[in-house]
């Protein structure tokens, strides 16, 4: 905690001022202070925080750089993320989500009301993180990047009750599944629900929608598509139309679909980190005895975002599509891709290829079929276990190297 409000002019000597600052927990992050003199408390303050604010920043940066070097197996450095003006400081009373009221002029307006006392934030525990992570690694293994993000702010759609949110959310998932099924593409996604002061109850869905590959691998025919014909543009338009059909007049920003036309597999894990930023703090995932540097590893050390309060969430906090769930992972093949393998639903031994390589690519039923035959299908999948399920607690093993490199280079 900082010493906001403590002024040098309130004390007779520099040392008395330094003592007060030290006992208050040190200077605040952006607080102007000068530890000038040779007194005992002044020298103690200098040793811990430097002579002034600039000194303190240099000390912090040196310690931060040292920590990154000494602990490469965790995320010391965090992705800053996108902060919203509505996120409240801990000292400010929590607010209820913004209610939308329609005025006489027909314009929707937000009305903020106080939250009821005693509503605890719904944090993500280790088991939920492990399930979300395993689903992401499973999708990544098969070249199905979950890099398209849908964000729905339910209050802007007039959904104030839990039942309304549940029905709307299930309807949206069915909409997504139908659109993908019509194109014979697998329906794979992860999701979470959060409740912020700015947005109220809202949902994030990271889903696979085929797109061009930056490495030069393209879905057959996709390289020729442009404009509205691109599947990701079509998907975005479809979600928008679904919203209008179900809710009528839609407030701007109520449903957002983000993600580039070109696939970015590393974004799968950035989406994962963003969804799990409301994690349970203090959850030990690896004791010091087994850690590379002899220090405890906590759940937050494996998440590339700083902790953020997700707020009270009364609906299911997070989950994954059935096609990426535990049962499907035991088969070794994501749901929707079974036709490429023989006997994919047999829980026992290894799966064998079904001989699709002998099929003429020109007779394939869909773009995805050609795509899987080309270069995205593991040669012989087995019962899938993620790195986390196998016991790894090292981010260099849990995440693709290009993702870790991007985070280290991020400023």
Tens of pLDDT, residue by residue over 370-391, are 555 555 556 667 899 999 999 9
> What mean pLDDT is predicted for residues 165-189?
93
| Dihedral (CA of 407, 264, 298, 285) sign | negative
User: In the structure, what pLDDT confidence band is assigned to residue 236 with cuts at 50, 70 and 90?
Assistant: very high
Dihedral over alpha carbons 324, 326, 330, 336 (to 10 degrees): -30
Residue 394 has pLDDT above 50, yes or no: yes
> What mean pLDDT is predicted for residues 177-182?
93
Q: How far apart are CA 248 and CA 269, in angstroms?
A: 34
Contact call for residues 187 and 325 (beta carbons, < 8 A): no
Q: Please give the backbone phi and psi of residue 368, each rounded to the nearest 5 degrees, phi first.
A: -60, -35
**pLDDT of 213:** 63
Most confident segment among 7-11, 116-120, 367-371: 7-11
**pLDDT of 197:** 83
Contact call for residues 175 and 239 (beta carbons, < 8 A): yes
User: In the structure, what pLDDT confidence band is assigned to residue 283 with cuts at 50, 70 and 90?
Assistant: very high
Radius of gyration of the chain (CA): 26
Q: What is the mean pLDDT of the chain?
A: 77
Specify whether the backbone of 288 is left (phi greater than 0), alpha (psi in -120 to 50) or beta: alpha
201 forms beta bridges with 195
Residue 350 has pLDDT above 50, yes or no: no
**pLDDT of 337:** 85
Beta strands in 180-328 (DSSP E): 189-196, 200-207, 212-213, 255-258, 262-263, 284-286, 297-298, 318-320
- Exposure letters 136-157 (e unless 16+ CB within 10 A, then b): bbbbbbbbbbbbbbbbbbbbbb
H, E, C per residue of 73-137: CCCCCCECCCCCCCCCCCCCCCECCCEEEECCCCCEEEECCECCCCCCCCCECHHHHHHHHHHHH
Q: What is the pLDDT of residues 29-54, one digit of tens each?
A: 556 666 666 677 777 766 666 655 56
Higher pLDDT: 186 or 94? It is: 186
Length of the chain equals: 411
**pLDDT of 31:** 60
**Angle, CA 403 vertex, CA 400 and CA 409 arms, to 5°:** 140
Higher pLDDT: 171 or 92? It is: 171
> DSSP letters of 144-208?
----EEEEEEGGGGT--SHHHHHHHHHHHHHHHHHHHHHTT----EEEEEEEETTTEEEEEEEE-
Largest Cα–Cα distance in the chain? 90
**pLDDT of 62:** 72
Query: Distances in Å between the alpha carbon of 58 and those of 51, 62, 65, 220, 249?
Result: 11, 6, 11, 53, 53
Contact call for residues 151 and 271 (beta carbons, < 8 A): no
Most confident segment among 110-119, 169-178, 256-265, 334-343: 169-178
Higher pLDDT: 221 or 330? It is: 330
Most confident segment among 51-65, 214-228, 254-268: 254-268
DSSP-derived 3-state class of residue 320: strand
């Amino acid at each position: 905690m900082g010493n906001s409000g403590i002024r040098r002019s309130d004390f007779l000597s520099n040392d008395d001022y330094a003592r007060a600052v030290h006992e208050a927990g040190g200077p605040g992050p952006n607080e102007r202070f000068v530890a000038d003199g040779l007194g005992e408390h002044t020298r103690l303050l200098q040793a811990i925080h430097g002579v002034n604010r600039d000194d303190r920043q240099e000390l912090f940066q040196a310690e931060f750089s040292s920590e990154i070097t000494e602990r490469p197996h965790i995320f010391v450095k965090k992705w800053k993320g996108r902060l919203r003006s509505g996120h409240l400081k801990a000292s400010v009373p929590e607010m209820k989500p913004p209610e939308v009221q329609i005025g006489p002029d027909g314009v929707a307006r937000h009305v903020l009301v106080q939250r009821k006392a005693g509503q605890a934030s719904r944090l993500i525990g280790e088991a939920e993180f492990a399930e979300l992570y395993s689903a992401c690694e499973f999708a990544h293994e098969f070249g199905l990047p979950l890099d398209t993000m849908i964000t729905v702010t339910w209050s802007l759609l007039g959904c104030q009750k839990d039942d309304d949110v549940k029905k709307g959310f299930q309807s949206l998932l069915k909409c997504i599944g139908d659109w993908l099924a019509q194109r014979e593409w697998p329906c794979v996604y992860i999701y979470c629900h959060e409740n912020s002061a700015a947005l109220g109850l809202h949902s994030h869905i990271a889903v696979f929608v085929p797109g061009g590959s930056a490495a030069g691998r393209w879905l057959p025919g996709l390289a020729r598509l442009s404009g509205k014909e691109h599947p990701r543009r079509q998907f975005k338009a479809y979600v928008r139309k679904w919203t209008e059909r179900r809710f009528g007049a839609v407030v701007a920003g109520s449903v957002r679909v983000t993600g580039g036309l070109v696939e970015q597999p590393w974004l799968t894990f950035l989406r994962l980190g963003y969804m799990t930023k409301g994690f349970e703090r203090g959850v030990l995932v690896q004791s010091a005895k087994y850690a590379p540097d002899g220090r405890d590893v906590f759940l937050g050390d494996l998440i590339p975002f700083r902790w953020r309060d997700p707020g009270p969430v009364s609906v299911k906090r997070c989950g994954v599509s059935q096609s990426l769930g535990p049962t499907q992972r035991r088969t070794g093949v994501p749901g929707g891709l079974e036709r490429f393998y023989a006997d994919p639903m047999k829980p026992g031994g290894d799966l064998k290829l079904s001989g699709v390589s002998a099929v003429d690519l020109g007779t394939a039923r869909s773009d995805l079929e050609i795509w899987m035959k080309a270069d995205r299908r593991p040669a012989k999948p087995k019962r899938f276990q993620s790195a986390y399920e196998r016991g790894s607690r090292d981010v260099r093993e849990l995440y693709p190297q290009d993702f870790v490199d991007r985070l280290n280079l991020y400023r």
